[in-house]
Structure 1
Amino acid sequence: PDDPGGYFIVNGTERVVVIVEDLVANKVIVDEEKSGTYPYVAKIFSEDGQYNISHAIEKGKDGMIYVSFSKVQKIPFAILMRALGAQKDQNIIEEVVGSDEDSKFLGDLYINLYELGEVRKVSDALEYIGKRMGIMMPDKRIERAEEIIDKFLLPHIGHSKEARLLKMHFIARAVKKLLLVSYGEIKADDKDHYGNKRLKLCGDLLEVLFRFSFRSLVGDMKYNFERLIKRGKVPNLQSVTRSQFLTSRLRSALATGNWVGEREGISQHLERANFYDTLSGVRRIVSTLTESRENFEARDLHPTHWGKLCTSETPEGTSVGLRKNLAITACISTEPEFMEEEIISRLKSMGVTKK
């Protein structure tokens, strides 16, 4: 009767899917690098359920700002803003600093605007991005660049052409935060603060696994369908579908712990030495960081861990500080809708308006 549940029985063995600790998605995290060509970097992990894409906005020592996402690497910030619809140079400046004509950021912005050169129109900017992506056919460059921007640039904001304006606002605010950190106006974000972390539970991890496996199933069905068509046969659904395809993928991941994204150890054997050992197993948290690297700050105890994580339970050796456990009284919220509605209503009552 005291069994906590929360585990799977695979091939007669009890397996538990551990909690995965990762950086918060859809939030600008500005990091200050101590060395390198780009000492200031703003990172965004854009996630919308379908895509999970890492973005980087980097400011070099010369003041130049570059944006990288998906397969698009180091596009000048001003050119990307023009591709998103900023018709004039003044539009780009106003997006970042507003109407502040005495802003100390203007010098950096003018340096980046100089990079525009002959890129005067939106179509010119899209053509530039298409060339940087290595698209050889001139008539396809703009179309392909638009597709990349709509689909892979900040996908959590939207995939339509109408979302480009919102993406431009988001990038401008990220650049402003990057400039504020570079000028010492605000401090860089603390990546180890638990407000900048999110815990992915069993449901989140199984969702990712199922989506990946389902895409593989669709690809396998398409391959079998085309193969039979070439032979002159008219296949039915049963003949192109392998009945155990999904089941075997899910069962294999749960049995071995090997997950999507080359992650290992996501499912682990559930210990039954005593009740507390079992409870520790189902409340275990693993980090996405590599154990072979030092990552001293990530391994240290942080003040925001208090009340959320057990301050003493962590293994010795290379995984010290990277494998943690929930505090015995901790409870993870899963963003119910009423919380979101309550937060929005409170913001409105405080006078916050939608731009």
Structure 2
Amino acid sequence: ILSFNLMFCFEKSLVTSPSVVSTTLPIRLSGLLVSFSRFKNMPAILLIKALGLLKDSEIASLIGNISEDILITNFYEYAGIKSSEEALLKIGELMNLEGTKKEILDRVKVRIDSALLAHLGTKPEARKEKAIMICKLIRHFLTCKLYGIETDKDHYANKRVRLSGDLLADLFRVNLTIFVRDLQHSYQKTVRRKKIYSIKSLVKSTLFSHRIETAFATGNWIGQRTGVTQNMDKTNRLAMLSQLQRIVSLLPSKQENFMARTLHPTYYGRFCPIETPEGTSIGLRKNLAMLAKVSTEPKLDDKQVISILEEIGLKRK
């Protein structure tokens, strides 16, 4: 998501947490920075060098022919860094990490591998690909800043509809994590007392089931969401279909959010332009069109996609 002063990049990370991890590229007087996980406001050029792209000429060619003073300043400031290890130690110094040289290197590497652009991979082999991706993000960001091409946040190409399966997966994952943590805590207590019980006696399976059942009964979901589950409105068939087709925005209804509430051209054929409640939820609660379908993640073979692109005229380098 591009804006004049900030870029957001969201990716799903199943390694560090079940939630969505965000990578942001804010621009400050000190230069172009990158923030992710607990690492805040790291110089972008320093991070790129830590990921394995060490030549300034190579980084500049990936970013493109954009003469921005802040970018030139960043290049000049970290021109003396000639190895990835040196860049990683500098990041550890900026983040106030303590320990031996090896410990600092290991902690920075683990955090970068697991939390930075985790959808590209969580192994050391993916670092160079992450560096190239950050260069591309910087290019798009600076193009937006120079030419004013912002991302239309209300365009439905930039939105995702979370279906019941996604919500259930989040609920199960969080409660399973709590269940495993409780089991681990109970086991450690028995070990400290030098008493070994069977795993069956330590497992509190009823608590896991109770949390799931409570969420279904009350509609209170993880992430402080309410009203996720509701009683079916069976006044008539149209009322039932209307409830089944309902889409609720995550934006708070107490805030204005004028652009999010107004009709967008991408609604055509996807959402009913008329049906929305009056009051504070107007425009934030929508209904799918009667013939609309929500596509789930397709499982396409990469070779199949490449062959289709070549058929329509795309050429390999």
Using the size of structure 2 for normalisation, the TM-score is 0.92
Residues 217-269 of structure 1 show CA distances to partners (whole Å, capped at 9, x for unaligned) of: 11011011111111211122201111213211211112222222222222223
Q: Distance in 2 between the 1:338 and 1:155 partners?
A: 21
User: Which residue matches 2:273?
Assistant: 311
User: Which residue matches 1:23?
Assistant: none
Are the structure 2 counterparts of residues 319 and 233 from structure 1 closer, same or farther at C-alpha, using a change threshold of 3 Å?
A: same
SS of residue in 2 equivalent to 1:200: coil
User: Which residue matches 1:164?
Assistant: 127
1:62-101 equivalences under 5 Å are 62=29, 64-97=31-64
Q: Distance in 2 between the 1:352 and 1:332 partners?
A: 32
1:145-294 equivalences under 5 Å are 145-184=108-147, 187-294=149-256
Q: Distance in 1 between the 2:302 and 2:169 partners?
A: 22
Q: 2:63 touches 2:138 (CA, 8 Å); kept in 1?
A: yes
Q: Distance in 2 between the 1:331 and 1:104 partners?
A: 42
User: Which residue matches 1:54?
Assistant: 22
Q: CA deviation at 1:71?
A: 1.1
SS of residue in 1 equivalent to 2:25: strand
Q: CA RMSD in A?
A: 2.0
Q: Distance in 1 between the 2:135 and 2:85 partners?
A: 20
User: Which residue matches 1:126?
Assistant: 88
Aligned residues: 312
| One-letter code aligned to 1:146 | K
Q: Distance in 2 between the 1:78 and 1:152 partners?
A: 18
Relative contact order, higher structure (CA 8 A, sep 6+): 1
Q: Distance in 2 between the 1:166 and 1:337 partners?
A: 22
| One-letter code aligned to 2:11 | S
Quick check: which one's helix share is greater?
2
Identity among equivalent pairs (%): 36
**Runs of 5+ consecutive residues of structure 1 not aligned to the other structure:** 1-28, 33-39, 98-102
Quick check: which one's strand share is greater?
1
Q: CA deviation at 1:313?
A: 1.0
Using the size of structure 1 for normalisation, the TM-score is 0.82
User: Which residue matches 1:31?
Assistant: 3
Q: 2:13 touches 2:115 (CA, 8 Å); kept in 1?
A: no
Q: 2:248 touches 2:285 (CA, 8 Å); kept in 1?
A: yes
Are the structure 2 counterparts of residues 71 and 114 from structure 1 closer, same or farther at C-alpha, using a change threshold of 3 Å?
A: same
Q: 1:78 touches 1:115 (CA, 8 Å); kept in 2?
A: no
Q: Distance in 1 between the 2:86 and 2:226 partners?
A: 45
Q: Distance in 1 between the 2:57 and 2:303 partners?
A: 37
| One-letter code aligned to 1:171 | I
Residues 161-216 of structure 1 show CA distances to partners (whole Å, capped at 9, x for unaligned) of: 000011011111110001111110x6211010001111010001111111111111
SS of residue in 2 equivalent to 1:74: strand
Q: CA deviation at 1:106?
A: 5.5
Q: CA deviation at 1:86?
A: 1.7
Are the structure 2 counterparts of residues 80 and 328 from structure 1 closer, same or farther at C-alpha, using a change threshold of 3 Å?
A: same
Q: 1:229 touches 1:235 (CA, 8 Å); kept in 2?
A: no
Q: 1:83 touches 1:126 (CA, 8 Å); kept in 2?
A: yes
| One-letter code aligned to 1:126 | L
Are the structure 2 counterparts of residues 342 and 312 from structure 1 closer, same or farther at C-alpha, using a change threshold of 3 Å?
A: farther
Q: 1:93 touches 1:109 (CA, 8 Å); kept in 2?
A: no
SS of residue in 1 equivalent to 2:119: coil
| One-letter code aligned to 1:53 | V
Of 60, 67, 91, the residue aligned with 1:105 is 67
Q: 1:105 touches 1:179 (CA, 8 Å); kept in 2?
A: no
Residues 34-76 of structure 1 show CA distances to partners (whole Å, capped at 9, x for unaligned) of: xxxxxx211111114454201111223x482111111111111
Matched, 1:295 2:248: no
